[in-house]
Chain A
Amino acid sequence: MRWEYRGNTLILGGGLTYRTIPAAYHSVFQSLKRHKPSEIDLGEVETIDSAGVAFLDEIHTRLASKGILLFKGARPEVQAVIDTFSSIKLPVPIPQRSMGWFEKLGDDALNAGQNIYQCLLLASEIYYFSLVGLISRKGQRKGSFVQQAVLLGSQALPIVALLSFIIGFILSLQSAVQLKNFGANVFIADLLAVTMVREMGPMMTAIIVAGRSGSAIASEIATMQVTEEIDALRMMALNPIRYVVVPKFHAISLVMPLLVAFSILVGEIGGGLIAIGYLDVSLPTFVQRSIEITTLKDLVVSFGKSTVFAWTIVIIGSFFGFQVKGGAEGVGKATTASVVASIFAVIVLDAIFSLLYL
C-alpha cells in the first residue's frame, strides 16, 4: 500500500487488503490529522478487499464531520468492491445494555425464587407420576427400571466400596491412637458403628451418587432437551417425566439403601482391621459391641435419610436438565450446576436430620 499527499489530495495506491492495512493504519490516521485533505484519490488502487473498504469507510466517517470529503477516481472493479462491502449506510446496532449490580441482585433474587418454585413443582410431578407408575407401567419402557438400577446402583458398587473402606480405616486409625492412651481400646467398635451408621455411610454414598448419577441424569436430560428429544417424546404423546425420570426415581429408591448398607458394612471391615490388628480387640467382641450399640432407630433414620438424599439427587438432576438454556454448551453448565446443588442439598439435609434425630 502506498500513500502520499499532493496539495489537498491524499493519493492511495497499491493494495488495500487484510495484509497491508494493519501496518499503515495508524500512520495514515496520524497524517490525516495534520494534512486535513479534502479529497482522496483512489485511481492508483489496484486491489481492495473488505478490510480495505472498511478502512476507507473509517476515514470517511472520521473526516466527513469536519468537511466534505470526496473519494474519486476508483477503477470500476475497485468501485464495485467498495459498493458491495461498504459499511457506511449500515445502521449501527445498539449494544445490549448490561445490568447494574443492584438490578442484578434483584434479578438474581427473583430468579432464585422462581427456580425454587419450579423445582418444587417438578418435584410434585415426579412424586405423583412415581406413585402412579407403581401401579401402572404405562408410558415406561419395559426393562428401563432394571437398566437404571444397574446403571445407578451396581456400577457404583466398586467406588462406594473403596471409599467406604478407606473412610472406615482412617477413622479408626485416628481414634485408635487416642483410645489407646486411655486404655479404652474396646470402644473403637462403638465409635465406628455410630459414625458409619449415622453419618458416614449415608453421607459418603449420597455424595458419590450425586457426583456419579446426579450428573449423569442432568446431562442426559439436558442433552435430550437441546436436541429436541424431549419435544419428540411429547409429540409421541409420552410424558417425559414418566418416560425418563420415573424409572430413575424408582431405581434409585431401591438401590440407595442397598448401597448405604453395603457402605456401612465395608466401612466396618476397614475399621475392624485396625481394631483387631492394632488395638487387639477380638473379632467376636468387635462384632458384638458393634451390634449392641446400633439401635433400631439409628438404622431407620439412616436408611430414611439416604432415601431422601436419593430423591433429592434425582429431582435436582432432572430440574437442571429440564431447565437447560442455550445449545450444547448449556449441557455442561447444567451438569456442573446440578452436582454442586445436589451435594449442597445433601449436606444441608443431613444437618437437619442430625438436629432432628440426635
Chain B
Amino acid sequence: MSQALISVRNLVAKYGERTILNDISVDIMPGEVTVILGGSGCGKTTLLKNILRLQEPFSGSVKFWGDEVLQMDEPSFSGILKRVGMLFQNGALLNSISVYENISIPLELHTKLPEEIRDRIIRVKLSLVRLAEAIYKYPSELSGGMKKRAALARALALDPEILFCDEPSAGLDPLTSAALDELILDLRKQLKMTIVIVTHELASIHRIADRIIFLDGGKMLFNGTLEAALKAGIPEIDTFFRVGRF
C-alpha cells in the first residue's frame, strides 16, 4: 500500500465548549479523489479548516507528506501551503481586485514567471472553469456560481498537488457541474493531483469519487470506496443515498 499523502489521527475540533469533530482519523491517498459527505452542519468545512490549520485543532495530529504540521513553524508550513489549493465554500475572492488579478496574485508572489506566461496561465485556468468572459470583472459583479468558479481557477493557479474543494458545484447548473467534474477527473489523471471534495451532489459523487468519507454526529461513520459504502448497510448512508436519488 502506498504512503498516505495526508494522514489525520484522532483529530478533535471544538468551537468553545462544543465538540464538532470527535476523534477523526483519515488517510488521504495520493492521486485519489476523496469525497467528504455528511448532513449540513455536521462539520465538513470544519474538518477541512482543521486539516489546513485555518483553525487550530483541539487535539490530534495532521501529517502532510509524512511531516507533522500542527507544531510546524510558519515558514515551513507556508512551504506546504504553496503545494495545496483550497476552494472555500463561499469563494473568498479578494473583493477589491478583479478576477484576473485574483488569479494573478499567487503566480506573481510565488513564482518568477514572466508576465506573458502568467497571462496565458490565467486565461487557461479561467477557460477550464468556463469563465473566460468574466476575466476583467470584479467579484461583486459575478453571480454566486461564477464566484465559485473564479475561486476554483485561483485555487488551481499554481497547479497544486493537493486540491481541497468545499462544495464546488453548489449553485451550478447540471451542465456546468458536469464540466467541473470532467475537469477534476482531468486534473487527477493528467497532473496526478490529489483531490478532496465536499459535495452533496449524488450525480457528481458517482462520477468522481474514488473514496468516500462519511461524517455524522462528529464521528466518521465510513471510509472506503463508493461501492463498499453502498453495500456496507449503514443506515445513515443508505438513507443519504436513497433520499437523494432522482
Chain A residues with a Cβ under 8 A of chain B: 17-18, 21-23, 25-26, 49-51, 53-55, 57-58, 77, 80-81, 84-87, 90-93, 95-96, 226, 325-330
**Can you add 4 more A-B contacts, CB < 8 Å, to A22-B111, A326-B96, A328-B95?**
A22-B114, A25-B117, A84-B190, A85-B128
A-side contacts of B78, CB under 8 Å: none
Complex CA gap A226/B120 in Å reads 33
Complex CA gap A203/B169 in Å reads 55
* CB 8 Å contact bits of B101-115 with A (1 = contact, 0 = none): 000000000011110
A-side contacts of B113, CB under 8 Å: 18, 21-22, 25, 51, 54
Which one, B117, B120, B136, B138, contacts A95 given CB within 8 A?
Answer: B136
Number of B residues with CB within 8 Å of any CB on chain A = 27
A-side contacts of B186, CB under 8 Å: 84
Q: Would you call B138 and A93 a contact (CB within 8 A)?
A: no
Complex CA gap A229/B121 in Å reads 38
Q: Give the shortest distance, in Å, between A29 (CB) and chain B (any CB).
A: 9
Instruction: State whether the Cβ of B135 lies closer than 8 Å to any Cβ in chain A.
Output: yes
Which one, A18, A58, A91, contacts B158 given CB within 8 A?
Answer: A18
Complex CA gap A49/B158 in Å reads 9
Q: Give the shortest distance, in Å, between B141 (CB) and chain A (any CB).
A: 8
Q: Would you call A329 and B189 a contact (CB within 8 A)?
A: no
Interface centre among B96, B120, B158, B186 (most CB of A within 10 A): B120
Instruction: State whether the Cβ of B191 lies closer than 8 Å to any Cβ in chain A.
Output: yes
B-side contacts of A50, CB under 8 Å: 121, 124-125, 159
Given contacts A18-B158, A326-B140, contact A54 B95 (CB under 8 A): no
Q: Give the shortest distance, in Å, between A352 (CB) and chain B (any CB).
A: 37
B-side contacts of A53, CB under 8 Å: 124
Interface centre among A18, A25, A58, A77 (most CB of B within 10 A): A18
A-side contacts of B139, CB under 8 Å: 327
Q: Give the shortest distance, in Å, between B6 (CB) and chain A (any CB).
A: 21
Instruction: State whether the Cβ of B123 lies closer than 8 Å to any Cβ in chain A.
Output: yes
Given contacts A22-B112, A85-B124, contact A54 B117 (CB under 8 A): yes
Instruction: State whether the Cβ of B4 lies closer than 8 Å to any Cβ in chain A.
Output: no
Which one, B112, B121, B190, contacts A77 given CB within 8 A?
Answer: B190
Complex CA gap A226/B116 in Å reads 35
A-side contacts of B96, CB under 8 Å: 326, 329
Instruction: State whether the Cβ of B127 lies closer than 8 Å to any Cβ in chain A.
Output: yes
Complex CA gap A325/B95 in Å reads 11
Complex CA gap A54/B117 in Å reads 6
A-side contacts of B121, CB under 8 Å: 50-51, 54, 87
Q: Would you call B189 and A80 a contact (CB within 8 A)?
A: yes
Which one, A93, A326, A328, contacts B135 given CB within 8 A?
Answer: A93
